[in-house]
Chain A
């Protein structure tokens, strides 16, 4: 078992539109260890979305190597990448991206179906993760019958269903009001406290400050990488950051 979830070295991504070549990432080195809560921040056009696509195996780098939980995924084909996304990555999107015609239960069940989990176990696990995000009583509701915050909780439950190595969230609160957004961040914090690795992509610094590590990206390069909190709160000796206990991780509930 490797001690790194994400290991990127010299990652470059070039978009070739035929006439113009755009180098979105110009050599990224990024290592994320298990149990980290990382925020990737940067202005729009900085390359953070491209980076998220690469981390999430939705796309492959033009150059460089990428190991996800010990697997070299940079040369994987489409179906292998699909399997990696299914097993190792839990996506949370700004626009929720729930399937509108099916219930919360069926939405959460989807990755388990793809992962080949047997029917009975699927039901148990959907109930378990929906319970964890506090939506046990909304299982049969369709996304349109839920509030924005609830939809994002369903999406998080869906991301958790396959017990992935990393939760990858792209502006998870960008579509929510501040109260619902706060709840979602708190949920991420709790999940981190329970030992999960979380990567959040955002342009909102106040959100980023609630994580344990901030990676700032600008013009396709990492310009700063600051660890602001210990990797495993409550277990590590460093304790919570002194500055603002509300923003930092709390001890295990």
Chain B
């Protein structure tokens, strides 16, 4: 009897729980009193948060009674979480996507077509071309350019001065700084801290030497990694790394964060987004400067990875409110504020060549626009190749050839 009562009670509880979740789902659909926005944790930084808050205030003023619920996600885990919400029908109303992540999701139909709202979005006629392309698929618009980023050198002006060094104009010159900056420093000091498997930076060498990652030949993806030019670029990266960096040859650029290494006084300079200047430590704030990484050809900058983010409205999200929020967050005022903290704004009408990161973006490269590209990133194919090259486990040519085969099979799979 007891057991039956317990079972009955459990059943009742289960039914009640199911009913209550159904009720919340229904109420959400009928009257959207709040919208959910997923942004990356970058936007949680002290100087970035007010920009989000200002957009929210503007949106809420225009839509009385609607509140914005911003949830911050990490780059490493947000796609798995997004998949889960797509399966459960609880996707957010707006999501920030990395521009290399867009194609796979657009191809699968994860976003709502917002082509008809394009004209109502701020500066949509002058969006940065690279970013705008990452938000289009099959002639339709799914992603709104949010911001772009390039990589620059953040360096200790005091150390450069002491060693009698000026901003380098060629890669060879920069490489030669290694020995001069390391003089008198402890063994673990990196003149230029580069995480060994920072493939964004390593691929810049490949593109600087005229190589590439992969290209489409009559509908099939073909690897370019083992081409003589790419191998020359990878070899140059290895030489550069060995001359200037004491970082682990197998770690990525966020374990540890380069600016933490810098703030601990263990680096003379670091490579990364221009906003790295935020976190260089109190003692170095006054003696920190930035410059663009020079190319191996004099007078040019090294091609940088044009990273960036798009904002999209997932399937199941509230399209009208989602687009309105995106419009508020990508307004001219908002983009100018993003520019002020070191990002590249989403429109050529707002870019400013006097800004260092925008100068760095004058030569840029992008990943192959294949729907499976994100699987190459997540499979750490390029990172593993760099670890093999730097640790000497394989020769540059061998490592590049094996990674290239891998990439071809993923992209054509």
Q: Do A and B bind each other?
A: no
**Which residues of A are in contact with B by a Cβ distance under 8 Å?**
none
